[in-house]
A and B are shown apart, each in its own frame.
Chain A
Amino acid sequence: MSTDVATTAVPPRPVSPPPAPAFSARREGWRRRAPLLPALVFAIVVTQIPFLVTLWYSLNSWNLVRPGSERFVGLSNYADVFADRVFRQAALNTIVITAGCVIVAMLLGVGLALLLDRKFTGRSVVRTLITTPFLIMPVAGALVWKTTMLDPLFGIVNFVLSPFGVGDYDWTSSAPLVSVVAALVWQWTPFMTLLVLAGLQSQGRDVLEAAQVDGAGPARTFRSITLPHLRRYIELGVLLGAIYVVNTFDQIYIMTQGGPGTASSNLPFYIYQRAFLGFDVGQAAAMGVVVVIGTIVVATLALRLLFRSFAQEDR
């Protein structure tokens, strides 16, 4: 792509004088835009068009197993969606899972980053160990958690907890949300740790030394200097983490299948069930649209927060 641009667009620049100023300005504009267009067109075609189709489907009643059942029904799918108790529960679960995972992972991440931001023997080894859960294939991680870790009879977790009187506790069916969040926290804590650690290491040493000279203890230095400096990194971690965790599917599919019943369904999993097990295209599409609207609201708020904190830093 880039060589393409190189050969066609630019070489004769000094040789050919611009024919007319207005024309050449427009040509220059297109020459600048040209390298951008393939990516832009691709992104629009692959992401925006399917979404427009989703909007259309959401106004239709259509079940894939009944060919010819497709007909326009207006907003009735949306009425059904909001009346659906399971949908409301899945929405609530999505919030609980996302908030629970992001908050716990971030708290752990800040703690771990502080511990890793010291000089000690084997520091890079420990950092590597902590990074690894993020690199493990989520499906593989979820399977390991479901079997060798959380199995009621042979799982490590119950073995470790047995001195505390925990018997053959069946984690994934008795506490499905806790199990899913645990596996997610395990996967996302490394992400938060790495981001916060990068923030800690970008702190000016001189500021910290000045604080020490001025007689500030470690706690005071942390509260007044480090934490405000970390704020931007923490917000970035929470925002990016939330974008990914809202879409959690793998862990739920593997560990609980949304169950028992629908106790641990989140929206991605429930929509998957409606679309691919219930074949209800119209309803699944309407749910998808509702999820997008919810995401836009939350993301706009989060982005505003983020930009405000950037502006504060600049002042």
Chain B
Amino acid sequence: MTTAAVAVTGPRRRSAGLLTALTWIIGIVFFFPVLWMVITAFKHEADAYTDPPRLFFTPTLEQFRALFDAGAWPYFLNSLFATTVSTLLVLLLAVPAAYALAIRPVKKTQDVLFFFISTKMLPVVAVIVPIYVIAGRIGALDNIWTLVVLYTAMNLPIAVWMMRSFLQEIPAEVLEAAAMDGASLRQTLLRVMLPMVAPGLAATALICVIFSWNEFFFSVNLTASQAATVPLFLVGFMTSEGLYWAQLAAAATLASLPVVLAGWVAQKQLVRGLSMGAIK
């Protein structure tokens, strides 16, 4: 397709211009709901639901201020805790596992990889009932650690696959050279391998952060007042929905902001992460 744009003659150039315009229009259409959400977040409620929709208005920060008066903080802190701790746990479990699968492969590596990916295919609805009952019996309902454990399990397969693909890229010669120079395993791991897989670690962490920050199903079923995360704060607007669009838009904007910013910064790693390391 790129070839079409290479030879530029008169009509070709015009059609290239048209394609560019089309691409821009589609991009803006796709982005529009996000843009409208952000715009609405800066409106007074009276400007939020009008017919026709109002594009010009006096912006206000009132909605954001009101969010924190409405008690948004605990939700954000819970999300932050569940996301950070589960991501660290995932890396702690997945990196050694990926090492065992990539650098010095154990027997039946394929089977182990297949097992991990199959746990990702297991629909969560199939395990939610026993998890709820067991958590209830051991007093782990509405406890943020329950979410930490579940988010760790949810992201572990992806992380193992990703880290394996990154570790496989380290040339065998590098490791041989390190061994030849008498480096201990500890030195090899920290001084040779860690710098080489650092971008991979970042990509894996990003994917874990996205999925656990945005997770809703476990949170809505297993938490109540103490351990509820940000998506539940948003759901709280559904009861009064219709009246507080601007407030809702401000909450949605704030809830999405961390992941959107992280994803923008790390777009390249995103692709690799989403394909579980299959696409470089």
Show the binding face of A for B, using Cβ within 8 Å: 1-3, 5-7, 9-11, 29, 32-36, 38-40, 42-43, 46-48, 50-51, 53-54, 57, 64, 112, 114-122, 125-141, 143-149, 151, 153-154, 156, 159, 186, 189-191, 194-195, 197-200, 202, 205, 208-209, 211-212, 218, 221-222, 226, 233, 236, 240, 243, 246-247, 249-250, 253-254, 267-268, 271-272, 275-276, 281, 284-285, 287-289, 291-292, 295-296, 299
Contact = CB atoms under 8 A, between A and B. Distances in A.
A47 B278 contact: no
Contact of B186 (A7, A143, A254): A7
B26 interface: yes
Interface string B1-25: 1111110000000001001101110
Contacts of B23: 112, 115-116, 118, 120, 126
A199 B278 CA distance: 11
B274 A139 contact: no
A42 B238 CA distance: 36
Most B C-beta atoms less than 10 A away, residue of A6, A136, A226, A276: A136
B122 A118 contact: no
Given A140-B255, A281-B133, A126 B24 contact: yes
A229 to B, nearest CB: 11
A275 B189 contact: no
Interface in B124-139: 124-134
B126 A119 contact: no
Interface stretch (B34-42, B57-65, B66-74, B168-176): B34-42
Contact of B271 (A138, A198, A209, A291): A198
Interface string B202-240: 000000001001101100110000000011001101100
Contacts of B198: none
Contacts of A6: 184-186, 189
Contacts of B217: 247, 249-250, 268, 272
B260 A144 contact: no
A118 B1 contact: yes
Contacts, number: 334
Given A46-B149, A114-B1, A240-B274, A54 B263 contact: no
Contacts of A119: 2, 5
B126 A51 contact: yes
A195 B260 contact: no
B230 A137 contact: yes
Contacts of A276: 132, 221
B178 interface: no
A218 B4 contact: yes
B126 A291 contact: yes
Interface in B111-162: 112, 115-116, 118-134, 149-150, 152-153, 156-157, 160
Main secondary structure of the interface of B (DSSP, over half): helix
B78 to A, nearest CB: 14
B150 A46 contact: yes
A160 to B, nearest CB: 9
Given A39-B160, A115-B26, A208-B3, A137 B132 contact: no
B97 A40 contact: yes
Given A135-B262, A221-B3, A292-B126, 6 more contacts: A10-B186, A40-B97, A40-B112, A144-B37, A198-B280, A246-B123
22 contacts: A2-B95, A6-B184, A11-B185, A32-B104, A33-B100, A34-B100, A35-B100, A47-B119, A115-B26, A116-B23, A118-B4, A119-B2, A119-B5, A137-B214, A143-B237, A148-B245, A156-B32, A194-B274, A202-B280, A218-B1, A218-B3, A289-B126
A144 B123 contact: no
Given A43-B156, A292-B126, A156 B116 contact: no
A2 B153 contact: no
A276 to B, nearest CB: 6
B225 to A, nearest CB: 17
- Please list the 10 inter-chain residue pairs (A to B) with the smallest Cβ-Cβ separation, ordered nearest first: A35-B96, A6-B186, A288-B126, A140-B252, A53-B130, A39-B97, A46-B153, A126-B27, A36-B100, A129-B31
Contacts of A211: 3
A186 B33 contact: yes
A26 B92 CA distance: 26
A51 B1 contact: no
Given A43-B156, A115-B19, A131-B263, A247 B279 contact: no
Contacts of B252: 136-137, 140-141, 143-144
A43 B30 CA distance: 37
Most A C-beta atoms less than 10 A away, residue of B53, B126, B235: B126
A249 B252 CA distance: 18
Contacts of B81: none
A147 B248 contact: yes
B93 A10 contact: no
Given A36-B100, A128-B267, A195-B275, A47 B128 contact: no
Given A46-B153, A141-B33, A145-B33, A199 B279 contact: yes
Contact of A38 (B96, B121, B262): B96
Given A117-B1, A288-B123, A39 B93 contact: yes
